[in-house]
Amino acid sequence: MKKVPTWASVPLMVGAFGLLAWLERRRPLRRAVEPKLRREARNLVVAAVSAAALRVAEKPVVEPLSALVERRRWGLLKLFKLPTWLEVTLAVILMDYTLYRWHVLVHRVPWLWRFHLVHHVDLDLDTSTALRFHFTELVISVPWRAGQILLIGVSPLSLSVWQTFLFLSIMFHHSNVELPIEVERKLNRLIVTPRMHGIHHSIVKKETDSNWSSGLTVWDWLHGTLKLNVPQAEINIGVPAYREPEEVKLTKILKLPFGEERPAWQLPEGGRPLR
Ligand SMILES: [Zn+2]
């Protein structure tokens, strides 16, 4: 197999989105601030723009690059003659780790944060938030993605397996589905779960500065950035400077990275939220 076929990945992704959106209505984890349907529609519009941008700016770069990596045997994993299953597994693990590093960067580097902010100002968190990244953030990440592919030695098969894994993973951990706590605790040892990622979307800065992993939990654990002891009921989702539904309307969030920057971690009335 050269890559995960579209006839398998597309129904899998659409099916997972539908299942999670249905479960969110049956067993919500956090109380909603905005009407769900309105937010889902808004987030899907942002996602459609981003999907178009990825087709134009990412696909024509990363797919030929990974084919070249395969042909010329460039990158770390191509130094060895590994069985396919092992090469793909290691590629997914290394892509996941380097994405963790990228996620830290988009929070820490001020001009990158402007773009990632659009993802974080959502006042609620659900599966649709997983798809709501400003298209410029995704376009800016193309050189990083190219670097990952080149250094790690990511083949077209590994790339498509990682993309499918990442997509399913982010939809799952952004979802507002209440899993039994004991199930979540078990899953959490290996992969990022909804309660864990909910803490990363808190308006409290020291909580946002934790749980950066997008797939495997191990990276937060290794870097000492894992935080699990915040009850979901106490979390306010979002960014302190943008607390009103008026401020996170579609047109406003699309323009957000280019407008005047506010001190994101301060409440409009001043001070920092403790909860
Ligand atoms: Zn983030």
- Chain segment 6-59, per-residue pLDDT in tens: 999 999 999 999 999 999 999 999 999 999 999 999 999 999 999 999 999 999
The confidence score (pLDDT) of residue 225 equals 98
Query: pTM value?
Result: 0.96
User: What phi and psi values does residue 28 have, to the nearest 5 degrees?
Assistant: -70, 140
Q: How far is the CA of 232 from the centre of ligand 1 (A)?
A: 17
Above 90 in pLDDT, residue 186? yes
Q: How far is the CA of 101 from the centre of ligand 1 (A)?
A: 11
Q: How far is the CA of 200 from the centre of ligand 1 (A)?
A: 7
- Chain segment 136-170, per-residue pLDDT in tens: 999 999 999 999 999 999 999 999 999 999 999 99
Q: How far is the CA of 82 from the centre of ligand 1 (A)?
A: 34
Q: How far is the CA of 197 from the centre of ligand 1 (A)?
A: 9
Q: How far is the CA of 217 from the centre of ligand 1 (A)?
A: 15
Q: How far is the CA of 132 from the centre of ligand 1 (A)?
A: 12
* pLDDT mean over 114-122: 98
- Chain segment 76-95, per-residue pLDDT in tens: 999 999 999 999 999 999 99
Is 182 exposed, middle or buried, given 0-12, 13-18 or 19+ CB atoms closer than 10 A? Answer: exposed
Q: How far is the CA of 81 from the centre of ligand 1 (A)?
A: 36
The confidence score (pLDDT) of residue 275 equals 82
Q: Which amino acid is present at 69? A: V
Above 90 in pLDDT, residue 179? yes
| Ordered DSSP codes for 76-129 | GGGGS---HHHHHHHHHHHHHHHHHHHHHHHHHSHHHHHHHHHHHT-SS-SGGG
- Chain segment 220-232, per-residue pLDDT in tens: 999 999 999 999 9
The confidence score (pLDDT) of residue 7 equals 95
Can you give the residue ranges of every domain in the chain?
A: 14-258
The confidence score (pLDDT) of residue 274 equals 85
The pLDDT > 70 percentage for the chain reads 100
Query: Six-digit token pair at 264?
Result: 């994101």
Q: How far is the CA of 231 from the centre of ligand 1 (A)?
A: 19
Above 80 in pLDDT, residue 1? no
Q: Please, are residues 178 and 27 in contact by the beta-carbon 8 Å criterion?
A: yes
- Chain segment 190-211, per-residue pLDDT in tens: 999 999 999 999 999 999 999 9
Q: How far is the CA of 127 from the centre of ligand 1 (A)?
A: 15
